[in-house]
A and B are shown apart, each in its own frame.
Chain A
Amino acid sequence: MLKKLPIAEMIALAVFMAIPFFMKDNYFLHLLILFLMWVVIGSSWNIFAGYTGQVSFGHAAFFGAGAYAAGLLAHHFGYSAWWGMALGGPAAVLIGLPFGIICFPLRGAYFTLASLALNLILMHVATIAENFTGGMQGIMIMPAFVSKIPYYYIALAMVVAILAVINLVVRSKFGYYFVSIREDQDAAESLGINSTLYKNISLGISVFFTGMAGSLYMNYMGFIDPSVVFSLSDYSIMAILVAIVGGVGTVYGPTVGAFIMVAVNEFFRSGFFGLLGFIGKRTGSPLVSKALDFVTHAHVLVFGILVIVVILYLPKGVVGDWEKIKRKVLRVRPTE
């Protein structure tokens, strides 16, 4: 069906498939799993918001729904959490579609606020329904694997799936319809586009993968509670930042954004990859340990600065403004 083979994508996939054969370091694999999970979440958000123009401030609702679906199944019914992995996507869709049907008459900022409300509602429900969800105590399950490698490949499979779906969608009627709705809903309707239906399709795809990422998280981390998986700042807003930094409405923007955000986050959280801690131990300087303390908590601040810089200077994100970066930062002359 595809005219030309996606060579670059296939090479990238081969490299990622090969990584665990060479890199067995758990810390490194952990970072890669986080990165892959964020590719899934950021790309999901991007289908709905970047392509279809429906800005969601509440994608943690779907991430959490997927995580809880997996966790509750294992916790209450003793099924292996792997069944939950199959359930995470559909569970998120089950929440997403009624939400869409009810809230799609709202446009722009009103819809965005509704998505935020959904996020908060689910967080409260998960907190209050203690008998079922364990409330603030959360849910703990036994991880199925000790090794990180299986999780890595599962996350990689999800990434392949969502990127394949996005690539197919943007080259089809669906992609054209999504973008038309984003650009002008009234014009789209006049061109035969059932905007409610296509927004629901876009939402369905988006939350399905977000829910899957949530159930992966449950299985991988082994522990969830409402304030973790329904977190506004850690998931809903982070999903937006991943897409904005990488490039909203571009196929690989969220992939690049996920890489940057995970790298920046880890760089600070680990005190410049352990460098500060190392210096602190060597010199025994109290100043360095103070600095370490500050730096390890500075990632939120850095995110803020990063996003402001991106919005000001690269409004289309790293991928969307790549030409500009090449010209201005890398000083590459445009080829005539």
Chain B
Amino acid sequence: MSFFRVEKLVKTFGGLTAVNEVSFEVKEGEIFGLIGPNGAGKTTLFNMISGVYVPTSGKVIYKDQEIQGVKPYRICKMGVGRTFQVVKPLGRMSVRDNVIAASFARVNSMKEARDNASEILDFCGLTSVRGTLAKSLPIAGRKRLEIARAMATRPDLLLLDETAAGLNPTELLSAINLIHKIRKNGTTIIIIEHIMHVIMSISDRIHAINFGQTIAEGTPKDVAANQAVIEAYLGTDYA
């Protein structure tokens, strides 16, 4: 049995092939990094895994079940949580209410939802701002709220889309700590990240894509030394 894998995933938008035959497998308990320059197709991959997009072709297999094309709310209930790169706070709800709403994915009573939420708020270090309206949070808080909300749905697999982008060094450090804590908690993580030293230090294995296609996969050290990866990144950095 495999925990999670995608097989030859393809997504086209009109004439544009955003993701082209990407395959990889993620083992239970690991942190799996997904890298690639802007527009490489990383978020599109997440959107196919989480049910936002129906793949043009290919399979998403989670706990031996094909889940491609399944509705996002069902995929959440199956145990796949996600954050959004462009954060989507439930603006006119408090931070706590955001997390309570997410908790109802697992429990039905108000009391259980409140208990779950306070546990998660504590875990994610948001307890001190729990009464704040989500729309009034600064960006670091919003990114953290994305993680807290996804965690409140008690995922076995968590998809993190650039949750470290836009953070200052202190915030970055605490975000990395949080991700380590989540993994220790037993949650498998696929993480998209642009900041190289973050993804390199945090991931067990890394999958690199460019223009929708796989260019490398392996340990952080292997991938960092890979010629195609270096070119892809230098290409965008120095173009």
Interface residues of A (CB under 8 A from B): 171-173, 176-177, 179-180, 183-184, 186-195
Contact = CB atoms under 8 A, between A and B. Distances in A.
Most chain A CB inside 10 Å of its own CB: which residue of B51, B88, B113, B149: B88
Nearest to B81: A190
Interface stretch (B15-23, B26-34, B68-76, B172-180): B68-76
B93 A190 contact: no
Interface residues of B, number: 30
Contacts of B90: 179-180, 183-184, 187-188
Contacts of B101: 176-177, 179-180, 188, 191, 193
B130 to A, nearest CB: 15
A195 B73 CA distance: 8
Given A183-B90, A183-B91, A187-B88, A192 B105 contact: yes
A177 B105 CA distance: 10
A320 to B, nearest CB: 11
Nearest to B104: A173
Contacts of B11: none
Contacts of A191: 73, 76, 101-102, 105, 149-150, 152-153
A192 B104 contact: yes
Nearest to B107: A173
Contacts of B50: 190
Given A176-B97, A180-B101, 16 more contacts: A173-B104, A173-B110, A177-B101, A180-B90, A183-B93, A184-B89, A184-B90, A184-B91, A187-B90, A189-B71, A189-B73, A190-B50, A190-B72, A191-B102, A192-B102, A194-B71
B184 interface: no
B8 interface: no
B201 interface: no
15 contacts: A171-B110, A177-B101, A179-B92, A179-B101, A183-B91, A183-B92, A183-B93, A186-B52, A187-B88, A187-B89, A189-B71, A189-B76, A190-B50, A190-B72, A192-B76
Contacts of B113: 173, 176
Contact of A194 (B73, B93, B153): B73
Nearest to A193: B73
Interface string B136-159: 000000000000011011000000
Interface in B44-82: 50-52, 71-73, 76-77, 81-82
B84 interface: yes
Contacts of B76: 189-192
A188 B102 CA distance: 8
B91 A176 contact: no
Nearest to A180: B101
B72 A176 contact: no
Given A176-B101, A177-B101, A192 B88 contact: no
Contact of B77 (A171, A183, A188, A192): A192
B124 interface: no
Cβ-closest 9 pairs across A and B: A192-B105, A187-B88, A183-B90, A192-B76, A189-B72, A176-B101, A191-B102, A180-B101, A173-B104
B10 interface: no
Contacts of A176: 97, 100-101, 104, 113
B81 to A, nearest CB: 8
Nearest to B82: A190
B185 interface: no
Contacts of A184: 88-91
A117 to B, nearest CB: 27
A177 B100 CA distance: 10
Contact of B110 (A172, A186, A189): A172
B120 to A, nearest CB: 12
A180 B82 CA distance: 16
Contacts of A195: 73
A187 B105 CA distance: 13
Interface string B120-135: 0000000000000000
B108 interface: yes
A190 B53 CA distance: 12
Most chain B CB inside 10 Å of its own CB: which residue of A171, A194, A195: A194
